[in-house]
Amino acid sequence: MKRIAVYPGSFDPPTYGHIDVIKRALPLFDKIVVSVLDNPGKHCLFSIPERIKMLRSITRNFKNIEIHSFRGLLMEYARKKNATAVIRGLRVVSDFEYEFQMAQMNRELNPHVETLFMMTGTQYAYLSSSAVKEIAKFKGNIKKFVPSIVEKMLKTKLKI
């Protein structure tokens, strides 16, 4: 049986923190399905196709990875993808409460899928998509935080 994991998120936009999690999760599974939540109720800066484009470009040299989007319940999506695990990155203690609650709820919904937390590299512990957007908005330097395609697409989006 293939070991498949889903790495879900908003990825608005993807950062080096996300890439760090993907890189470290890849050797643990036969396939990682990175999937962008398509939630029409949540305002995001980038569209789903834009976020998929960035993720595909960033991970083009990685093996055993697929990039998609999903709607609805994560546990239902994981079942459809034959995934046995969901990966979530943990940065700081404040992430924990939300993630713990979500993992417990998801286990209630589908006990066959395990949530696996990966500690983000310490150099990315402070990094978030929201912070990157904020810095970019005020014309700060984001080269340290995101790959060049993300930087380029952020500048275009924010008309900088």
Active-site amino acid positions: 18, 42, 91, 129
Q: Which of residues 36-55 bind ligand PNS (CB under 6 A)?
A: 37
DSSP state of 71: -
With contacts defined by CB under 6 A, name the span among 7-15, 22-30, 44-52, 134-142 that binds ligand PNS: 7-15
With contacts defined by CB under 6 A, name the span among 6-14, 118-126, 140-148, 152-160 that binds ligand PNS: 6-14
Q: Are 127 and 105 in contact (CB under 8 A)?
A: no
Find the binder of ligand PNS among 45, 58, 74, 87 (CB under 6 A): 74
Q: Are 30 and 1 in contact (CB under 8 A)?
A: no
Q: How far is the CB of 79 from ligand PNS (least distance, A)?
A: 11
Report DSSP letters for 37-50, one per residue.
Answer: E--TTS--SS-HHH
Find the binder of ligand PNS among 62, 90, 102, 114 (CB under 6 A): 102
- The residue whose Cβ lies closest to ligand PNS is 9
* 92: contact with ligand PNS by CB under 6 A: no
Half-sphere exposure of 17 (CA within 13 A, CB side): 25
Respond yes or no on whether the N-terminal peptide bond of residue 40 is cis (omega within 30° of 0): no
Q: Kindly compute the dihedral angle of the four CA atoms of residues 96, 99, 104, 107, in this order, to the nearest 10 degrees.
A: -140
* 105: contact with ligand PNS by CB under 6 A: yes
The residues that touch ligand PNS, with contacts defined as CB under 6 A, are: 8-10, 37, 73-74, 102, 105-106
